[in-house]
Chain A
């Protein structure tokens, strides 16, 4: 069974540009979570999607947004990129929110903003 996949592996952008990161969950998982892992700040929760809808978001500005598609894959968009957006972005999927099961993580997308 394939794990959580993310693309691209690396992404280099300049300030003010937009970045799009993609995530494919494990087959059968309906929930997708996005986390930012920035140097010195640890892992911070960004967004949670389930059944195509945004269920919760962390303490991030509105220029961080995303969506979940009918096949449960997800996209994270970051508009008006700032230097401090440089980080590893991790996607995780889960089978049933609310019941006890773990979040499985993907390998991440390394975003560098120049």
Chain B
């Protein structure tokens, strides 16, 4: 069974600084997808960034980028130039799609609560 571990329950960062959230996962499969989701206090879950395991290049979305280390099964999220609106719970998630013999369910880590301070 796949598992996702986020070892930092809480983190804080000053506005405009950079912060990195850690995520490790466990799977014996080779092709899968990884995501970072953001859940602000208003609770709507929003996709931040995604990574296909077969792509070596790290995904980037504006101020958000990942460091994907497939051999180490590590998938960290870097937020540059942190903004107050980045304050939220961040969830790392894994999915093994049907096309890869998976079950189509997202497996989530327990989340990291990020606070951006002014």
Interface of A with B (CB < 8 Å)? 31, 33, 35, 42-43, 45, 48, 55-56, 58, 88, 90, 92, 97-100, 102-108
Contacts and interface: CB of A to CB of B under 8 A. Distances in A.
B43 A98 contact: no
7 closest A-B pairs by CB: A105-B45, A98-B98, A45-B105, A43-B108, A42-B110, A98-B99, A102-B47
Contacts of A45: 105-107
Contact of B97 (A55, A97, A104): A97
Contact of B104 (A43, A48, A102, A108): A48
A33 B106 contact: yes
A103 B97 contact: no
Interface of B: 33, 35, 37, 42-47, 50, 52, 91, 97-99, 103-111
Specify the main secondary structure of chain A where it touches its partner. Answer: strand
A33 B97 contact: no
Contacts of B107: 45
Nearest to B42: A107
A55 to B, nearest CB: 7
A102 B45 CA distance: 12
